[in-house]
Amino acid sequence: MSVLFEPLSLRSLTVRNRLWMAPMCQYSAAPEGPETGAPNDWHFQHLGARAAGGTGLILTEATAVSPEGRISPYDLGLWNDTQQAAFARITRFLKSQGTVPGIQIAHAGRKASTERTWVDRGAPIAPGDGYGWQPVSASALPFDDGYTTPAELTTAEIDAIVEEFAATARRALAAGFEVAEIHGAHGYLVHQFLSPYSNHRTDAYGGSYEGRARFALRVAEAVRAVWPDELPLFFRVSATDWLTEDESDDRTGWTVDDTVRLAADLGHRGVDLIDVSSGGIAPNARIETGPGYQVPFAERIRRETGLPVAAVGLITEARQAEKIVADGQADAVMLGRELLRDPYFALHAARELGDEPYVAQPYHRAY
């Protein structure tokens, strides 16, 4: 057996392999009406196809804790019974294929109220214009030119959002999810508090690392408090903002050193795995991409904290994924666009690496 197809146990949960699906927004939910934010037939077939293709664990796209927490009006959310029931249909199917269903719980913060990515390249929607609304953030700093200046959150509003994360986690459990992941990356609200580039607060939630990390750690504690002890909790990080690390520069960003420190703090609060990505806080950051370009960040976090990690970013080939896990750079790999191109990547990878592939029973005659 290749190491890529060895099972991985986290708490009492065992995932059948190390090939997992990263969260990817589909911008396909209803923007208004009783089905607002609820997964529909598109989401069912999108996630179900990857389960039938042998993916070990599937994380839903960023799922908002409130209407205002969506990236776009077409995003998924989990704040009401209708959404919960629709998710339950999906988790039942994923489990029937031996796939672990996971959910990424999120709040977009200042990057909220935007169009779908294929409409004007995801341009911002102004409050009151169509489906637009007023974004919020750690500080009243817009993401980019043309974006609405967000309202700076009060401490009472921060308290309310922490509880919304916990409430969504409770609903996720009731809907049948077995992994919860907190979205702390890609320039969304949790990341907006973490990064000095976007957090200019002077109260207990700003300034030093301790202040900027306070919101993220409170969210982790709140979700862990309602998530069962036997089930794992993940946290997605942007390991670096790809900005200067010179504290005298006004473009100072979050760094890999910061991420290692945060990962250790999260581990002490019951987070079981760090899902390692990068970037997203600044539109003009200079990101150096290439095959597996974020894997070294995951490797360092794993080495220096002892926590399990998942690597993501331009992982497109079976032997590349196998080497990442075999070399101890990560405990699992998250595939994004490659799984959009090939829902059966895990099946094809198993055959290429000489393993017995998972094949859905109705398809056995083809293998």
Given 27, 74, 147, 188, the catalytic residue? 188
Q: How far apart are CA 337 and CA 296, in angstroms?
A: 20
Asked if residue 49 lies in contact with residue 360, where contact means CB atoms within 8 angstroms, the answer is no
| 188 catalytic per annotation | yes
Q: How far apart are CA 184 and CA 276, in angstroms?
A: 10
Asked if residue 182 lies in contact with residue 165, where contact means CB atoms within 8 angstroms, the answer is yes
Cα 172 → chain centroid: 15
Written in H, E and C, the secondary structure of the chain is: CCHHHCCEEECCEEECCCEEECCCCCCCCECCCCCECCCCHHHHHHHHHHHHCCCCEEEEEEEECCHHHCCCCCCCECCCHHHHHHHHHHHHHHHHCCCEEEEEEECCHHHCCECCCCCCCCCECCCCCCCCCCCEECCCCCCCCCCCCCEECCHHHHHHHHHHHHHHHHHHHHCCCCEEEEEECCCCHHHHHHCCCCCCCCCCCCCCHHHHHHHHHHHHHHHHHHCCCCCCEEEEEECCCCCCCCCCCCCCCCCHHHHHHHHHHHHHCCCCEEEEECCCCCCCCCCCCCCCCCHHHHHHHHHHHCCCEEEECCCCCHHHHHHHHHCCCCCEEEECHHHHHCCCHHHHHHHHCCCCCCCCHHHHHHC
Our CA dihedral for 289, 292, 296, 301, rounded to 10 degrees, sits at: 110
Our CA dihedral for 294, 238, 178, 36, rounded to 10 degrees, sits at: -120
- For tokens 């293709």, the residue is 53
Question: Catalytic residues, which ones?
Answer: 188
